[in-house]
Structure 1
């Protein structure tokens, strides 16, 4: 007997490996998947705007990237001593306008360069509720007064209309790209339980319509459905009873891995598996000489792996080890 529902996932057109390029845009669940892929040394880029929740903001951001419209100084606003962009997540905000703008432009150029070579663009849709300021949908409110915004819920037609215009332009600039849509498994209870369900339904209907319009390019991965039906127990939720627990997030990512990623092996990945365990533990010695020998060996192996698989993730780990060595 089977005592739980296992969600069936439609077989993808192709499998992906470390020779492919991924781009992940969307809600905070996309950062979980991004971190997993980076940690496994896949070639990954993310949104130049940070976390994005609604499909219209994601479309607007993508349209700007395709047209080369980089962030402008006049778009920044000053709030509580920090400069913000209504298009960007607060991680880009800074007390210096120049520093904030520089970070936004650097992320924009990196994503623009990566986009044309992207093989799989994963879009995690979080909510159909949007906030408008001066007639435009914003990506982040940055805690401005509520009266500055108009709140409304997008329609399926509105979402599909924007994306059906955008996808051909995206394919034109990135000819090999395929798009994987998924709905975030995280409910938005601040909108209300019923309103959150309606919002997710709109996102799922929009995704279905887009897969029908672009069957060779757009597919769907059921993150939300896995959370709701396979993991329908509060032990799979974090303490806020909304976000998936680490175990639940790992399970959803495992379902993604089984469906979309090709199994790979080889000496480089075997070395990385060993080194990754070392990176998560501090050596059990206080001897400066032993520590230096340990980190020298670790650094040497990381450099060898990076020569085979150049990744920003490895660059950060190499920099961290070099900083440790500089203090020994």
Structure 2
């Protein structure tokens, strides 16, 4: 007997393996998946400019690095004793303006190279709700705790999101024609916007994204959709799979969604390597009651042999 609804998944034509170079962009759920890629030692870069939730702000970053537009003083502002940029997450805010600009421009240069060399880009959209700076009329990625009266809140239309996603694809392909896309909608509910408003927001993302994906399919490039939101809502429809805020997936849910992802988007050979790496990671975290014992020294010797074998096979992997 089956007591839950399983979301059907088809294996991708262009799976990730240990020779792949992956870039993960988007919401906090993108970070959850990227942490799994990091744990299993795939070559992965995550949100170089920090977490970004809405499609237009992701597009703006891609457009900036594609055009190689440097960040200048007009792109930053001073608030609460730190310099910020509305297009960038507050993780990069800095008390020194020049240092902030240098950091952002270095990241932009690096991201161009990463996108040019990547085999896969995973993009996770979180919300259709955006904040627009009333002074500049620009959509911001982060408000940086600037008073809310300086912004207007809007719901992006399906047409605007669709155009933004298409632009993101076109700009990325202009840098790297052979890159593979994996899109997903974050399972995190943004109930601060309201429950009905959150559903409306997600529905705009779903409609726009699937309209775009309908137009993109070839034997060389696959534009994939991974149903992380649907898995959370249908396969894991129980609050025991949520964190304390009852909004974010907890570690069990993340592990399960990762399992569903890896079964369909990672090669079978790589799944075997993942198992070896997981054993090494667990062994590295092991703490012996008697570190000087002969048994523990043998354990460490075998562990180093396993590590050496993996690192020789995949030079980019370091433990």
Q: CA RMSD in A?
A: 2.7
Match of 2:178 among 176, 193, 201: 176
Match of 2:223 among 218, 227, 237: 218
Change (3 A) 1:237 1:108: same
What do the CA deviations read for 1:175-231 (whole angstroms, capped 9, x no partner)?
111211100000000000000000001101111011112123422111111111111
| Partner Cα separation in structure 2 for residue 70 and residue 303 of structure 1 | 41
| Partner Cα separation in structure 1 for residue 270 and residue 247 of structure 2 | 36
Aligned to 2:107: 107
Q: Unpaired runs of 5+ in structure 2?
A: none
Match of 1:281 among 268, 286, 293: 286
Aligned to 1:147: 149
Aligned to 2:41: 41
Aligned to 1:322: none
Contact 1:47 1:111 in 2 (8 A): no
Q: Scaled by the length of structure 2, what TM-score is found?
A: 0.88
Aligned to 2:11: 11
SS at match of 2:269: coil
Q: CA deviation at 1:97?
A: 2.1
Which aligned pairs between 1:134-213 and structure 2 lie closer than 5 A?
A: 134-213=136-215
| Partner Cα separation in structure 1 for residue 273 and residue 224 of structure 2 | 32
What do the CA deviations read for 1:65-90 (whole angstroms, capped 9, x no partner)?
11112332331211111111111111
Query: Larger relative contact order (C-alpha < 8 A, sep ≥ 6)?
Result: 2
Q: CA deviation at 1:126?
A: 0.1
Aligned positions, number:
312
Aligned to 1:248: 253
Contact 2:189 2:248 in 1 (8 A): yes
Change (3 A) 1:68 1:293: farther
- Which one is further off, 145-154 or 66-75? 66-75
Contact 2:23 2:115 in 1 (8 A): yes
Contact 1:27 1:125 in 2 (8 A): yes
| Partner Cα separation in structure 2 for residue 274 and residue 7 of structure 1 | 29
Change (3 A) 1:135 1:20: same
| Partner Cα separation in structure 1 for residue 274 and residue 26 of structure 2 | 29
Q: CA deviation at 1:275?
A: 3.1
Aligned to 1:55: 55
Contact 2:291 2:297 in 1 (8 A): no
Change (3 A) 1:97 1:295: farther
What do the CA deviations read for 1:66-125 (whole angstroms, capped 9, x no partner)?
111233233121111111111111111122223323332232222211101212111100
Q: Scaled by the length of structure 1, what TM-score is found?
A: 0.86
Q: Unpaired runs of 5+ in structure 1?
A: 318-328
Q: CA deviation at 1:268?
A: 7.5
| Partner Cα separation in structure 1 for residue 142 and residue 271 of structure 2 | 43
Contact 2:243 2:249 in 1 (8 A): yes
